[in-house]
Structure 1
Amino acid sequence: MHMGTSESRTLSVAAAGTLITLIAFTAPLATINPTAAALGADTAGGTWILSSMSIGLGAVLLSAGTIADDFGRRRTFVGGAIVLAVASVAAALAPSTLSFVIARIAQGVGGAAVIASSLGLIAHAFLAGPARAAASGVWGAAVGGGIGLGPLVAAGFERSADWRDAYWVIAIASVSVAAVARRLLVESRAEHARGLDIAGTALLATGMSALLAALVEGRSGWGRPVVLILAAAAVVLLTAFVIVEARSRIAMLDLRLFTEPAFLAATGAAFATGAGIIALMSYMCGFVSVALGISTLGAAWLLSAWSATSVVTALFARRIRMSGRMQLVGGLVAVGLGQSSLFGITGDTSWQRLVPSLVFTGMASGVVNAALGREAVASVPAGRGSLGSGANNTARYVGSAVGVTIVAVLAARPAGSGAVALADGWNQASLFTTGISFVGALLVLLCRPRRTPQTTPDAEVVTSDGAPSPRRSSDTARP
């Protein structure tokens, strides 16, 4: 991939921030048992430890994308990285389950700002076409790499030192990427700012928080008052959000986007990715440790058979000669086929049985991740790349929260105990996530693009260091 110095800096920093955020997101997967023991967490507390960062991500991703486009993508990226660092320090020092969960939610808030602004930075720096496709592949590789590295980093520290040390490393990495971004990146934002939609931002954040909290609490019993109250609050708040956005002149989310096939395809594919393969892989580390007797570090390495393959495939996905929409269709179908091959696990299955399926599914996931990065930006108006990223990743992490909840319920259904019951639960869960991937592929296939007039070429501006920076004509750049 040939690109200038300014573009390479932008891509490197944006991908690094995304990688660090995903490492933070998946770190507890491999160390949930020692973490829960150190914090004195019961079963419900363990569930919150695993799920709390999703609440922060899902609650503010869309808002962060809008803020980045209107008030500065570099500023939002740097601020998010600093919040992620501070929250990681709080997680490393947390004395109790409650303080750790609060720190993880704050990690999600900071990570949301980083992820949403990262794709906006890339969209501003790279012209639509081969250059942006290659850059989106690198971003997609960072997503897959972070998912795989998180458990490896945490398990490695837990084995050699202390599980808390992983959060110190995340904090140091976050501060470093914030400093580099502040020094090297050029500020950019949409030419026509809509203004801060305070009502919409507050309603979406509280509504999404209530929804995700209800999903987490529901795993301990769906009829409990706290679950019903949270679910009712989510319905009321999110309904109010839709009403406010429909009437607002400065709406953070133009609801007409949901009538656009490209936006529906990208958002639906992101939700299916979260509720499908990400949900199943989130459950896998714990499953293979208990059911197959694999060590914490071994489980993390097994997960990397999927994630590492997705990294390599995402980097080369630009060479696939088909539209982004059809890449999503083909990728999701292949992901579904890969998950279906994970069905049929028994109590005496060896870990080697899983590797070919994980490698194949990882290849397909890499194609999906690369295409999602590109389609998220392409599905929204010019100059609103961070909004597209925020909406797309909101769908991904809400989908993950929904999928993990359903997988947990299905995995607990088989009667009995021991490896046989765990294997039965895994098989039911894999069938569900397989179906989600196929349904997602069908949805994207049905979202046929509309014919639109040919757009004018993207403009080029000169950045503060004198290097040409191709961008959409509706963007402005500031040193």
Structure 2
Amino acid sequence: MSTTVSPRAMAAGKASLAALALPSAATLLALMNYTAPMATLTDTAAGLHAGATAQIWLMSSISLGLAAALLAVGSLADDHGRKRLFVIGAVVLAVSSAASALAPNATIFITGRIVQGAASAALLATGLGIIGHSFTGHERARAAGVWGAMLGLGIALGPIASAALADLSDWRLWYWVTLVASVLLAIAAVRALDESRAQHRRGLDLPGLVTMSAGVAALLTAITLGRTGWTRPAVLALFAVAAVLLLAFVTIEWRRREPMLDLGLFRRPLFLLSIVGAMVTGLAVIGVMSYLATVMDLALGLTPFTAALVLAIWSGMSFLAALQARRLPGRLSPRHLLAIGLLLSAVGEVAMAGLSPGSHWWRLVPGLLVAGVGSGLANAMLARLAVESVPADRASMGSGANNTARYIGASLGVAMAVTIATNGVHGHGPDAAKALTHGTSIAMLVSAALALAGAALAALIRDDRARPAARP
């Protein structure tokens, strides 16, 4: 007995495949690019003649563009077309990658990385929005797991790929590869993605967009500069500016009839959990794990490439766990699985505490494995919560809000980890290495405590998925 498939069914199948494959590929590329400088920082700094302060920005500048743009592009995508913003993001990523590859000095490179962050924000927010619009029920859970898995895989592959390309040529080659990949992504999206947008289009919330983006930018700049001195006048002034702008944003959104971010959504426990959970993941997991490669280099004597391979144990397990999350029992809700993920992250961090300069990298493996499973599970559940906790036509906004919290948390987490780990470190040599490993152990324990607090919140919060949207 033969079965024929109608052209309409075949077209629908191809559209569904594209709606999963292209956002997943974009997320993989964005996260690889996000972590790429971890393995080439020394060569990049030397090639750009970057000083100590500039080196902080070489690593952190992309976070500024990401966090400042995520909510804005997510809201714009819902109203003006998710495919359109996705393609624009890919094109801007290509252009900014060229600027980074050709940069003659640190200022141009850092500017290019900030723009890369904004472009990556468009890919991340619209990509998850496309998935949220294209899939429902069990298929949405599976698709969200695949998207979340790309976060872990991108973190694993970025430093490895950039280091390998640097050995092949120099550190600039990675940015040319990113340019080519971005162009191919834009072409594929134009050809294969269907356009989608909210049925009810809201007007452009320009005051909200400006105050939110500028406020987050001021906050991230203050956090980044704070690593060279938290009481410096410029840092304190930036924190004050951020507070004023973000308070203005909240006031504008509360009074606006059709706001960019409906503050009434924060009365929905699962939306609140999606934001707080993402913030805790950035603060308690991504922050300390991002700094771990530097500790392995400075205190354990590993090369940057070897350190990236060791860290790939964590991010690789995150990838596998996120892919397999859909196989877990259906009676376990996303909030329960998020709680388990954060709990496992905390257990893994505790297991990695107690390093000393003589420790072998194998000492980290059990903790990396456990924390990797926890991170993957949390990533998959946060992706689901981002789209399931908001009205169906605001999936990109939900993704933007969720990821804004994640990257603000990550910036705070890196600053916290560096501050705690380097407290008491002076100069170089055995004493400095001993102080660094001791400080890193304290940072691991503090991060574990924060992850446990997040797990407790996720376990105790009530489920409100049956409640109607906060506003029509």
Distance 2:420 2:375 in 1: 23
2:320 equivalent to 1:312: yes
1:99-114 superposed matches below 5 A: 99-114=108-123
Distance 1:335 1:344 in 2: 16
In the TM superposition, residue 175 of structure 1 has moved relative to its aligned partner by 1.0
Matched letter for residue 440 of structure 1: G
Asked whether the 8 Å contact 1:266–1:444 carries over to 2, the reply is no
Paired residue for 2:105? 96
Asked whether the 8 Å contact 1:332–1:441 carries over to 2, the reply is yes
Paired residue for 1:302? 310
Secondary structure (helix, strand or coil) at the match of 1:169 reads helix
Paired residue for 1:15? 24
Matched letter for residue 131 of structure 2: I
Paired residue for 1:256? 264
Distance 2:41 2:198 in 1: 42
In the TM superposition, residue 76 of structure 1 has moved relative to its aligned partner by 0.6
Distance 2:449 2:34 in 1: 25
Secondary structure (helix, strand or coil) at the match of 1:51 reads helix
Asked whether the 8 Å contact 1:245–1:251 carries over to 2, the reply is yes
- Give CA deviations for 1:387-406 in whole Å, capped at 9, x if unaligned: 11000000100000111111
Paired residue for 1:463? none
In the TM superposition, residue 454 of structure 1 has moved relative to its aligned partner by 9.1
Write out the 4+ residue segments of structure 1 that deviate beyond 6 Å after TM superposition. Answer: none
Matched letter for residue 160 of structure 1: L
With over 3 angstroms needed to count, the CA separation of the structure-2 counterparts of 1:454 and 1:272, relative to structure 1, is closer
Distance 2:358 2:37 in 1: 26
In the TM superposition, residue 439 of structure 1 has moved relative to its aligned partner by 1.3
Paired residue for 2:462? 448
- Give CA deviations for 1:122-166 in whole Å, capped at 9, x if unaligned: 011111x21111101110111111111111111112223201101
Secondary structure (helix, strand or coil) at the match of 1:293 reads coil
1:314-329 superposed matches below 5 A: 314-321=322-329, 322-329=332-339
Distance 2:114 2:311 in 1: 24
With over 3 angstroms needed to count, the CA separation of the structure-2 counterparts of 1:451 and 1:163, relative to structure 1, is closer
Matched letter for residue 386 of structure 2: A
Paired residue for 2:6? none
With over 3 angstroms needed to count, the CA separation of the structure-2 counterparts of 1:454 and 1:207, relative to structure 1, is closer
Asked whether the 8 Å contact 2:270–2:465 carries over to 1, the reply is no
In the TM superposition, residue 360 of structure 1 has moved relative to its aligned partner by 1.6
Paired residue for 2:35? 26
Paired residue for 1:431? 445
TM-score scaled by length of structure 1: 0.92
- Give CA deviations for 1:10-66 in whole Å, capped at 9, x if unaligned: 100010011111111111111111111111111111111111000001101001110
With over 3 angstroms needed to count, the CA separation of the structure-2 counterparts of 1:351 and 1:238, relative to structure 1, is same
- Give CA deviations for 1:161-219 in whole Å, capped at 9, x if unaligned: 20110111111111111110011100000100112110100000100000000000111
Q: Which of the residues 359, 367, 377 maps onto 1:357?
A: 367
Asked whether the 8 Å contact 2:23–2:128 carries over to 1, the reply is yes
2:139 equivalent to 1:131: yes
Q: Which runs of 5+ in 2 are unaligned?
A: 1-9
In the TM superposition, residue 85 of structure 1 has moved relative to its aligned partner by 1.2
1:131-150 superposed matches below 5 A: 131-150=139-158
Matched letter for residue 272 of structure 2: L
Secondary structure (helix, strand or coil) at the match of 2:40 reads helix
Asked whether the 8 Å contact 1:136–1:370 carries over to 2, the reply is yes
Paired residue for 1:469? none
**Range with greater deviation from structure 2 (102-111 or 360-369):** 360-369
Q: Which runs of 5+ in 1 are unaligned?
A: 456-473, 475-479
In the TM superposition, residue 452 of structure 1 has moved relative to its aligned partner by 3.1
Distance 2:15 2:144 in 1: 16
Q: Which of the residues 280, 292, 313 maps onto 1:272?
A: 280
2:216 equivalent to 1:202: no
In the TM superposition, residue 443 of structure 1 has moved relative to its aligned partner by 1.9
Asked whether the 8 Å contact 1:91–1:104 carries over to 2, the reply is yes
Asked whether the 8 Å contact 1:216–1:405 carries over to 2, the reply is yes
Matched letter for residue 79 of structure 1: I
Paired residue for 1:458? none
Asked whether the 8 Å contact 1:196–1:250 carries over to 2, the reply is no
Asked whether the 8 Å contact 2:343–2:455 carries over to 1, the reply is yes
Paired residue for 2:295? 287
Distance 1:160 1:419 in 2: 31
Asked whether the 8 Å contact 1:62–1:394 carries over to 2, the reply is yes
2:339 equivalent to 1:339: no
Distance 2:372 2:13 in 1: 31
With over 3 angstroms needed to count, the CA separation of the structure-2 counterparts of 1:223 and 1:201, relative to structure 1, is same
Asked whether the 8 Å contact 2:79–2:197 carries over to 1, the reply is yes
Paired residue for 2:411? 401
Q: RMSD of the alignment, in Å?
A: 1.6
Matched letter for residue 359 of structure 1: L
- Give CA deviations for 1:400-430 in whole Å, capped at 9, x if unaligned: 0111111111111134443211111211111
Matched letter for residue 316 of structure 1: Q
Paired residue for 2:4? none
Distance 2:199 2:263 in 1: 21
Distance 2:166 2:222 in 1: 31
Matched letter for residue 417 of structure 2: V
Paired residue for 1:461? none
Identity of aligned residues (%): 46
Distance 1:451 1:344 in 2: 42
Query: How many residues are treated as equivalent by the alignment?
Result: 454
Asked whether the 8 Å contact 2:208–2:259 carries over to 1, the reply is yes
Paired residue for 2:224? 216
In the TM superposition, residue 9 of structure 1 has moved relative to its aligned partner by 1.3
Paired residue for 2:129? 120
Matched letter for residue 376 of structure 1: A
Paired residue for 2:3? none
Secondary structure (helix, strand or coil) at the match of 1:246 reads helix
Distance 2:29 2:466 in 1: 38
In the TM superposition, residue 445 of structure 1 has moved relative to its aligned partner by 2.2
Paired residue for 2:179? 171
